[in-house]
Amino acid sequence: MFLGDLNIIINGHPIVSRADIRAVENPISAIFDLADDVTKEAPKIRKLVTYATVFIVFWLVVDFILILAFLVTNLFISLFLIILFILGLLTLSLLRRFNDFFRYYAQRHKVILSVRDDDPVVLVPEGKDSVDRLINLLISRNPGLRESYSLGNAANPQIQRGKSGTFYQFDGLITKSPGALWRILRVGYPGYQLFIKNFDHPPSSEDLLALKRAVEDISLANLIPPSRVIALWQRKEDEEITEDVYEILITQVVMLKRGSRTYACSLELIVENEDGTYEFVPYVVDYTYFSASRAQ
């Protein structure tokens, strides 16, 4: 064994040098530190991407004008400019994907920090029934929902029609209309849809897949990406979900395809225990005002 491979331990902690990227003191804390460093640089990098995008767009306009100018007088130069124009379009597409990645990374990092810093025990608030109690919890964690909730009683049963013509009933529903340009150009605010389906028994895999199909059918009808899809279950003593239900919860997503983009939203099981606490599978953080699912 070489001396460089030895770990020198003092009081149970390895001596590391922050200047050496190979040295790690604690893997978990090191991962968070690394993510924090990247997140701090993300705004600067996105600003540089914006500057590069503006420059490339300006060059594409100039290049297009030059192509028209040399199209008749010099075919060789025209072909060369056309190649540069195509390369510019490809670069612009890559810059957009790069910018989307950093936006996603920053949002994902914020979500992970929210989960890490959250109280490990979530208490059930007051309410007239399980759906009303859950909505009160969601409003307390995302005050932006209060505006939509005040427009109507979201805890009442709601009936929605899907694109297939089928009507679906939900025990809770909170919605926010999309922006004016969303339905036509798919730009701007895409709207918000939160669905709650209440179960007095352990939901089966068929229940969850039926919930997924129902929300997808409704989203195809109103062209609003699903934001949260919650299966609410009041667990009684000695009741548990099966392994196939857990597998669906961590692998299946509710999707809406609009053009070349796909919006994905997790199926979420929220369990109201008899001891007055909640459990979440998976844990979904709704940390922004009417946050929508991310386009892929």
Span of 105-109, 145-149, 215-219 with lowest mean pLDDT: 145-149
Residue 14: pLDDT band (50, 70, 90) is: very low
Beta strands in 62-182 (DSSP E): 122-123, 158-161, 167-170, 172-176
**What is the per-residue pLDDT across 94-116, written as a single tens digit (0 to 9) for each?**
998 888 887 777 777 777 777 77
Q: What percent of the chain has pLDDT over 90?
A: 36
**What ranges do the domains of the chain cover?**
27-117, 122-281
Q: Name the strand (E) or helix (H) holding 97.
A: helix 75-117
pLDDT reading at 88 higher than 90 = yes
Residue 63: pLDDT band (50, 70, 90) is: very high
CA atoms within 13 A on the CB side of 30: 11
Q: For the chain, what is the mean pLDDT?
A: 81
- pLDDT at position 9 is 41
Pick from 47, 45, 43, 50: which is nearest to 110 by CA?
A: 43
List all residues 6 or more positions away from 277 whose beta carbon is below 8 Å from its beta carbon.
121, 122, 123, 124
pLDDT reading at 283 higher than 80 = yes
**What is the per-residue pLDDT across 224-270, written as a single tens digit (0 to 9) for each?**
889 899 999 999 888 899 999 999 999 999 998 877 778 888 899 99
pLDDT reading at 289 higher than 70 = no
Q: Is the dihedral of CA 108, 223, 267, 159 positive or negative?
A: positive
Q: What's the whole-number mean pLDDT along residues 129-145? A: 84
- pLDDT at position 38 is 77
Longest C-alpha distance within the chain, in Å? 85
- Residue 193 CA to residue 22 CA, distance in Å, equals 45
- pLDDT at position 224 is 87
pLDDT reading at 24 higher than 70 = no
The larger pLDDT score, comparing residue 128 to residue 111, is at 128
Which residue has 């007051």 as its token pair?
Answer: 126
Give the C-alpha distances (Å, rounded to integers) separating 31 from 25, 112, 148.
11, 12, 38
Q: Tell me the three-class secondary structure of 220-274, residue by residue.
A: HHHCCCCCEEEEEEECCCCCCCCHHHHHHHHHCEEEEEECCEEEEEEEEEEEECC
- pLDDT at position 75 is 84
- pLDDT at position 21 is 61
CA atoms within 13 A on the CB side of 161: 3
pLDDT reading at 287 higher than 50 = yes
**What is the per-residue pLDDT across 3-12, written as a single tens digit (0 to 9) for each?**
344 343 434 4
- pLDDT at position 12 is 45
Upstream peptide bond of 43 is cis (omega within 30 degrees of 0): no
pLDDT reading at 169 higher than 90 = yes
